[in-house]
Amino acid sequence: MGTEYALLVAPSANRVYTQSAPDLTRAELAAFSAGALEGRLGPATPRDLGGQTYLVFATEDPLTSEDLAVLGNLSSGLALYELVPGDLLRPIRTSALDKFDDDLITIPKYSGKTNENFTKLLLNVTALASAWAGDFGSRTFTVLDPVAGRGTTLNQALMYGWNPIGIEIDGKDLDAYAAFLKTWLRRKRIKHSADITPVRREGRKLGRRFDVEFTSDDRRLTFFEADTTQARALMKRQVADLLVADLPYGVVHGSRTSKGLERGPAELLSAALPGWIELIRPGGAVGLSWNTHVAPREQAVELLERHGLAVLAPIGLEHWVDQGITRDVLVARRS
């Protein structure tokens, strides 16, 4: 029967997300198992232990320290225990890739921000769908968020020690992100250089770019203010291992009414996808989330397949966000 483990799911700040968190974590565990742990985790099932719901799963052999260094990166895992006969819980120490204090991700608060746990989940399942899933804990992935907003994905990628690239059409978002990151890096005494410069091609201004280079290693972050349909003109082919995007919701978000240029997600996807795909290395993966009220899943699948991507079967990540938004996730691999 092997070893049984019980995972306590973290209470999220967002009440609505909390209701879906156990289901989403179950799907995420399955993705970790298939992608990085050779399918060694049995299916997870919810179990009530002393009034708390845990996700319980079994393995044939006990988890190794390498396994625990991967599972420590689950987006909603609070604590992991070994289930000892007699309903006793033995705490298990996991480790995470985290390179920085978590206020890098929690401090920014703004209307239209993608939930932090969800952003980490989307990044995880995308990395786990790539050809390098087995190197989850060791590869320095380059992650492109082509609709980056104020940078939740970029900050999560930085947190993992990976190299983020963002594209965002709204210059105010670039300014807000640059101001936040520069202040945060200075306050944490992390040595770096940072610059905002114009981007021109053939004498035409395409936008601006914000670059950060870390002094301690060769990691870097690049954030472009540009229309993502022009992504191909901004950088070289095949620069990214992963493309992760929480697409515009097709609804007005609070104060974000200045976005006259914003298109619906299906329209944006069909205009931007050919350029995006050229930026991904073969073996790389795409993870998209979007509002199913404005574009059905089949339409998104058809679009990705038409552009030569292999779409993974639904992995159970659809969830309710609010009255106007039901969010689903599509993950695909570039061959």
Residues forming the site for ligand SAM (CB under 6 A)? 112-114, 147, 149-153, 167-170, 173, 227-229, 246, 248-249, 259, 262-263, 268
CA 164 distance to own-chain centroid: 11
For the bound state, the minimum distance from the C-beta of residue 253 to ligand SAM, rounded and expressed in Å, comes to 8
CB of 259 to ligand SAM, least distance (A): 5
Nearer to ligand SAM, 68 or 199 (CB): 199
Range 211-234 burial, b when 16+ CB lie within 10 A, else e: bbebeeeebebbbbbbbbbbbeeb
Shortest approach of ligand SAM to residue 110 CB, angstroms?
7
For ligand SAM, the closer of residues 6 and 147 by Cβ is 147
Is 57 or 287 the residue whose CB approaches ligand SAM more closely?
287
Beta-sheet strands, E only, within 137-191 = 142-145, 163-168
Could you give the CA distance from residue 99 to residue 54 in angstroms, rounded to a whole number?
28
* Strand 240-246 with 142-145, pairing: parallel
C-beta of 151 vs 284, nearer to ligand SAM: 151
Locus of tokens 């280079």: 213
State the minimum distance, in angstroms, from the CB of residue 322 to ligand SAM.
13
Nearer to ligand SAM, 28 or 170 (CB): 170
Of the pair 56, 269, the CB lying nearest ligand SAM is at 269
Among all residues, whose Cβ is closest to ligand SAM? Answer: 149
Nearest approach, Cβ of 257 to ligand SAM (angstroms)?
Answer: 12
Output the smallest distance, CB 330 to ligand SAM, in A.
15
Long-range CB contacts for residues 306-313, cutoff 8 Å, separation at least 24: 307/273, 307/274, 307/277, 308/277, 308/334, 308/335, 309/277, 309/333, 309/334, 310/334, 310/335, 312/129
Strand partners, 224: 167, 209
**Whose Cβ is closer to ligand SAM: residue 38's or residue 102's?**
102
Distance of alpha carbon 215 from alpha carbon 312, whole angstroms: 38
Is the Cβ–Cβ distance between 254 and 180 less than 8 Å? no
> Whole-number minimum distance, CB 244 to ligand SAM, in Å?
9
